[in-house]
Amino acid sequence: MKKIWSKVLCPGEKWSGNIGRGKYIHFKAMGDNANVSMLMYNMRDTSERYNMPDTLKAQYTAYLTTGNILMSDNGRVLASIIEDTCGWHDTISGYLTRKMADKRYGVSKYEMDRNDWLRSGEENFKVELIRNGMGPRDLVPCVNLFAKVYCERDGSMHYDREHCKKDMTVTLRTEMDMIVILSNTPNILDESKAYPAVPIAINIYEAPPVDLLDQCITRRHENYRAFENTWEYYELLGL
Amino acid sequence: MHEFIEKQSKLREEDAVYDDVVMAGDGWMHKLKKGQSFRIVDLKGNQAADTMFYDMTNPADHYGAVATIVAQQSIYLTTGSILRAESGKPLLEITADLTGRHDTLGGACSAQSNTVRYAREKIYMHNCRDSFMLQLANWEDQFLAKRDIAPNINFFMNVPVTKEGGLKFDDGVSSPGKYVEMKALEDTMVLISNCPQLNNPCNAYNPTSIRLLIWD
């Protein structure tokens, strides 16, 4: 399998870029309690983006794991989860705001802390959205890779600090040409006072063509229809 | 604020400055002034009112489903819930609630999500996001666009989530005449689609009218 690109996303670091369809994005947590916030937009039309409600209701789930697809608001598959040793990735708790980072970890300024300053998911996302021709207006619920947030019967939300362990991995397969924005910043519901510092190893590979027996396609009829919508989109584009 | 907090409103219908009915499948867009109270009445029961809010001083700051639930650390909305913009700014507070369960994870139906959830042939069916987009298209300044249609609130809709991570759409917990009422904490734009969905029980397979009232 041909490796195309690799990177270590340091604690607090952000990244954005265009990633074409048909790639594996392999994430590995290099420590316990990782949280990588991720947004995804269609490269050709950024008004089409990852849609948390459509993703969850089509698959009757409140979290993401192997076999799940990450859907856009246009009923297409942006990416699918083909491998996951973690078992639960959150998509209902959003990104760490500047306000919460200051409150929880204390005010951290570049002048004092230089590049060790404690960054927020909010600011990381805003900068990368602007870089890609969008802005805060385009913020939507994100995916939090490696994070588990569950709800009790009464609806209360809980972050599980023991969920993610060192060397756990998750692999996405891109199904559309996307702008991907990543922020390696703590989960907003993680109440520990220490800013988690877990580097994430990212490797991108060429993926083989998807076949109809693929677990993400066969998992539900809904998934298959979302793939059909995606294939149709590229056929009509002539790609 | 986890459990249902049932609370009646003291406001009288005859004192309302606005009182209108929105039929199933129709949209509605209206500016609420800071301090005004806004009531949505489920006239015939089990009707989902898909609702978006925008901060009028900065319409780019749309309703934030996650900002709202994370701030209260609970996914369900009821009396006392503060409805926030994406930036975290409080826009409205729910001041009265007779049904106790309003969803903000299920989002609005669209032609495209209907193809995925039910069948590709369902793409012709009317849906909430079409109603949202028609309202945006007809609004005076046309500032708001598709990118501004973020995940919304479904008043009267029941989307239970289990500890194990299950999620489904259940029969509504509302009945005829029940309402939810909120107070605008800022000048706020309201965008509603009175849900036309016929493929799941969110409207009891029979979408019906809602009544909207505003008080100064």
pLDDT at res. B66 = 98
Residues B8, B189 contacting (CB under 8 angstroms): no
Write the residue in B105, B147, B164 that is nearest to A138 by C-beta: B147
Return the number of other C-beta atoms located less than 10 Å from residue B3's C-beta.
13
Distance of CA A89 to the CA centre of its chain: 9
Residue listed under structure tokens 């849900």? B195
Of B1 and B10, more confident: B10
Contact call for A76 and B112, based on CB within 8 A = yes
Could you tell me if B49 and B156 are in contact, meaning their C-beta atoms sit under 8 angstroms apart?
yes
| pLDDT mean over A142-158 | 97
In this complex, the residue of A136, A157, A225 whose CB is nearest that of residue B74 is: A157
Residues 64 to 93 of B: which have CB under 8 A from any A CB? 64-67, 69-70, 73-76, 86-88
pLDDT digits (tens, 9 = 90+) for A43-102: 999 999 999 999 999 999 999 999 999 999 999 999 999 999 999 999 999 999 999 999
CA distance A66 to chain B (A): 14
| Cross-chain residue pair B120–A228, CB shorter than 8 Å | yes
Establish if B134 touches chain A: CB-CB under 8 angstroms: no
Angle, in degrees to the nearest 10, between helices A52-59 and B65-72: 80
User: What pLDDT does residue A127 have?
Assistant: 98
Do residues B147 and B160 touch, judged by C-beta distance below 8 A? no
By Cβ distance, the residue of A153, A188, A222 closest to B117 is A222
Least confident of A38-42, A200-204, B97-101: B97-101
B151 with A71: Cβ contact below 8 A: no
Mean pLDDT of all residues belonging to chain A:
97
pTM of the model: 0.97
Nearest to B74 by CA among A193, A158, A42, A140: A158
Tell me the C-alpha distance between A7 and B58, whole Å: 37
pLDDT in tens, A8-32: 999 999 999 999 999 999 999 999 9
| DSSP 8-state code for residue B164 | T
Q: Give the distance from CA A97 to its chain's centroid.
A: 17
Which of A45, A70, A73 to mutate to test binding with chain B, by most B CBs within 10 Å of its CB?
A73
pLDDT at B4 over 90: no
How large is the average pLDDT for residues A99-113? 96
Is B147 an 8 Å CB contact of chain A?
A: yes
Q: Nearest Cα to A74, choosing from B49, B116, B169?
A: B116
Q: What is the mean pLDDT of residues B87-116?
A: 96
Provide, as residue numbers in chain B, all residues whose Cβ is less than 8 Å from the Cβ of A39: none
Distance between B139 CA and the closest CA of chain A, angstroms = 18
Inter-chain CB proximity B105 and A92 less than 8 Å: yes
Sheet holding A69-71, edge to edge: A3-9, A200-206, A23-29, A169-174, A77-84, A69-71
Percent of chain A with pLDDT over 90: 98
Q: Is the pLDDT of residue B2 over 60?
A: no
Query: pLDDT, tens digit, for every residue of B118-163?
Result: 999 999 999 999 999 999 999 998 899 999 999 999 999 989 999 9
Average pLDDT over residues A222-238: 98
The total number of structural domains that make up chain A:
1
Provide φ and ψ at B38, rounded to 5°: -135, 125
Q: What pLDDT, in 10s, does the model give residues B6-56?
A: 999 999 999 999 999 999 999 999 999 999 999 999 999 999 999 999 999
Size of interface A-B (CB pairs under 8 A): 140
- Chain B, residues 172-211, CB within 8 A of chain A, namely none
Separation between Cα atoms, residue A34 and residue A186, nearest integer Å = 7
Taking CA atoms, A130 is separated from A135, A138, A146, A179, B177, in Å, by 5, 10, 26, 12, 46
Q: What contacts A233, CB < 8 A, 6 or more positions away?
A: A76, A176
Domain of A140? 3-237
The side-by-side arrangement of strands in the sheet containing B18-22 is: B18-22, B210-215, B37-42, B178-184, B90-97, B82-84
Residues of A with Cβ-Cβ distance to B167 under 8 angstroms: 56-57, 60-62
Q: Do A60 and B168 touch (CB under 8 A)?
A: yes
Q: Residue A96: phi, psi to the nearest 5?
A: -70, 125
Residues 6+ apart with CB under 8 A from B142: B136
| In chain A, % of residues over pLDDT 70 | 100
The per-residue pLDDT for B203 is 84
Rounded to whole angstroms, the Cα distance separating B177 from B216 reads 22
Structure confidence at residue A125 as a pLDDT band (50, 70, 90): very high
Tell me what pLDDT residue B168 has.
Answer: 85
**What is the mean predicted confidence (pLDDT) over A103-126?**
96
Residue A133's pLDDT is what? 98
Contact: A53, B112; criterion CB under 8 Å: no
As a whole-number percent, the residues of chain B with pLDDT over 70 amount to: 99
pLDDT category at B1 given cuts 50, 70, 90 is very low
- Are A73 and B75 inside 8 Å of each other by CB? no
